[in-house]
Copies of this chain bind each other. A is one copy, B any other.
Amino acid sequence: MRLHVAFHPSLLATGAQPPVPITRPQVCLVVDVIRASTTLVTLVERGAALIHIASSVAAARASAAARDGAVMAGEQEGLAPPGFDYGNSPVEVSRAEVSGRPVVFVTTNGTAAIRAVRALGPVLIGALRNATAAAAEAVAWSQERSCDLTIVCAGREGAFGIDDAYCAGALADRILRHGTFEPTDGADGALRLYRTEPDARAVFTRAAAGQNVIRLGLRHDIDYCAETDASMVVPRLGRELRMLDDGRTDG
């Protein structure tokens, strides 16, 4: 079986000659480490009943209005939209009162990445905080189905994000220890990148995504996102997560 890393959802192809798009069946790990993946892991840890993922604030508001006791979390240009209970800050969410309550969560890049792969097979959420657990569960699904595994980086609108690539390398490092996967070019690249720096914070604070969070005065979020293997929670689409958008809830 092969391990792919797509540094952006637009790069979901294997690189084979002739070209082969990555198709079903496929186990996918979606990474948006600063900060949606990390926040989702934290929301599940805090006991959220079910997380409904929306790609727009309007869709989130409509959905929350229809759900009793729903909590609204997420971001618009980095901060909580007006009327939301929480932003997309994992540190803030780590103290949130969400136990047993449905959560409606808004993210842009993360939602696009999930949507790009939802039809391929099981979709899991990966971050540094749950790196070993996410790798283990992805490997288990992949072995169960005898299918390839793809790590998909959310990236930033239309661009590569070094934070996601680094996190993909951390996941690839753990996945390849299982010995049954052959890394393709993207996985090889992510792994090399990951191994250049033992301290995730050094990469994250220089990354465009990290710089943006720091500008908002949320530097603690970077430290939190950089903590590795602090959690055993692996959010999965169809289990802890649902997609809200375009009227479908099949996620």
Chain B CB within 8 A of A18 CB: yes
- CA distance in complex: A6, B189 (Å): 14
Please choose the segment from A98-106, A180-188, A241-249 that sits at the chain B interface, where 4 or more of its residues have CB less than 8 A away. Answer: A180-188
Interface residues of A in 155-199 (CB under 8 A from B): 155-163, 165, 184-186, 188-189, 192-193, 195-197
Indicate if the CB atoms of A192 and B184 lie closer than 8 Å.
no
Indicate if the CB atoms of B77 and A18 lie closer than 8 Å.
yes
Residue of B nearest to A192 (CB): B196
Indicate if the CB atoms of B193 and A189 lie closer than 8 Å.
yes
Indicate if the CB atoms of A159 and B188 lie closer than 8 Å.
no
Chain B CB within 8 A of A62 CB: no
Chain B CB within 8 A of A208 CB: yes
- Contact of A156 with B15 at beta-carbon distance under 8 Å, contacts A10-B10, A196-B196 already known: yes
- Contact of A165 with B189 at beta-carbon distance under 8 Å, contacts A17-B208, A208-B15 already known: yes
Interface residues on A, range: 35 or more
A14 cross-chain contacts in B, Cβ below 8 A: 159, 208
Number of copies: 2
- Contact of A11 with B10 at beta-carbon distance under 8 Å, contacts A162-B188, A189-B165 already known: yes
Chain B CB within 8 A of A12 CB: yes
- CA distance in complex: A165, B11 (Å): 14
A156 cross-chain contacts in B, Cβ below 8 A: 13, 15-17, 19, 185
Interface residues of A in 194-241 (CB under 8 A from B): 195-197, 206-209, 212
Q: Residues 56-84 of chain A: 1 if any B CB is under 8 Å from the residue's CB, otherwise 0?
A: 00000000000000000000011000000
Chain B CB within 8 A of A118 CB: no
Residues of A within 8 A of B (CB): 5-8, 10-19, 21, 77-78, 155-163, 165, 184-186, 188-189, 192-193, 195-197, 206-209, 212
> Apart from A15-B159, A19-B157, what 20 extra A-B contacts exist at CB < 8 Å?
A6-B159, A8-B10, A11-B155, A11-B158, A11-B159, A14-B208, A15-B157, A15-B160, A16-B156, A17-B77, A17-B156, A18-B77, A19-B156, A159-B186, A161-B185, A185-B207, A188-B206, A188-B207, A192-B196, A193-B193
5 A-B pairs with the lowest CB-CB distances in the bound complex, closest first: A13-B158, A19-B157, A15-B159, A13-B159, A162-B185
28 A-B contacts, Cβ less than 8 Å apart? A6-B159, A7-B11, A8-B11, A10-B10, A11-B158, A11-B159, A13-B157, A13-B158, A14-B159, A15-B155, A15-B158, A15-B209, A16-B208, A17-B208, A18-B157, A19-B156, A19-B157, A19-B159, A160-B185, A160-B189, A161-B185, A162-B186, A162-B188, A162-B189, A163-B185, A185-B208, A193-B193, A193-B196
